[in-house]
Amino acid sequence: MIDSARLGLPDFDPGSVWLVGAGPGDPGLLSALALHALARADCVVYDALVDQRILRLARPGALLDYAGKRGGRPSPSQPDISARLIRLAQSGNRVLRLKGGDPCVFGRGGEEALALAAAGIAFRIVPGITAGIGGLAYAGIPVTHRETNSAVMFVTGHDTDGKVPGGLDWNAIARGAPVLVLYMASRNLSNIANRLLCAGRRSDEPVAIISKATTPAQSVRVSTLGEIVEAPGTIPAPAVIVIGDVVRLRIALDWFGAQHQGIP
């Protein structure tokens, strides 16, 4: 149990909403504030990417309210989810909006916070470990390394219509950082890889595709930009994708894979 008083954690007041990042999957990556909220929330409105082991940490008797959005499947709209949070808070509940990763890294937490602010609902944003950092670490890939990259760029792989974001300058992205981390790019990966190649990235540049990161079902596929264009293959969702020479460090740093293979 979290010693809330010793840590000086804030009260979770009735009628308020906490927007909390649950991290990429492993319950051990939850913050103290996230555990504090789970122990006190009356309602937990959670995303599709929240691990079931994390939901089991909710207070007994708390309402677990699914509000997940998955590409190509019937899903609640963002305005509907925001309206649900407002209604629950106005009824006097402690409302925990639990989101995979970090709520404000391609998680639409900012949109929900703006809706709460407009409705006069008190809220708190609790950051979580985003998959673009935590998922890479569990694949043995540090997101930065002094010998490979002094910059990294995080990019979403699809727009609201599910297509490659048209408003992005892919030539600038290709030149912008030695390491690119792509979120929600599985369906559009071949298209994105082709755009990066046309903008000057190397065809032999390594790519790692990390599916179900930080969970027992984690899998990692290593390829190159050129191979991805020619034979993208099937990518189990959810997945985070990293492009750059930092991927080569995985050969020595795959600690998670070694544990699951029983290698001391």
**Dihedral Cα 37, 42, 45, 46, nearest 10 deg:** 50
Cβ-in-10-Å burial (0-12, 13-18, 19+) of 219 comes to middle
Amino acid at 163: K
Q: How far apart are CA 64 and CA 50, in angstroms?
A: 12
Distance, CA of 162 to chain centre:
17
- For this structure, is 163 an active site residue? no
Q: How far apart are CA 131 and CA 263, in angstroms?
A: 25
Q: Which residue has the tokens 């008190």?
A: 122
Active-site hit among 26, 51, 184, 212: 184
Amino acid at 66: Y
Amino acid at 232: P
HSE-CB of 106 using CA atoms within 13 angstroms: 22
- For this structure, is 184 an active site residue? yes
Between strands 239-243 and 206-211, the pairing is antiparallel
Indicate if the alpha-carbon torsion angle 37, 39, 41, 46 is positive or negative.
positive
Active-site hit among 47, 51, 102, 254: 47
Between strands 95-99 and 43-46, the pairing is parallel
Question: Whose CA is closest to 18, among 34, 29, 31, 32?
Answer: 34
- Which residues are known catalytic residues? 47, 69, 184
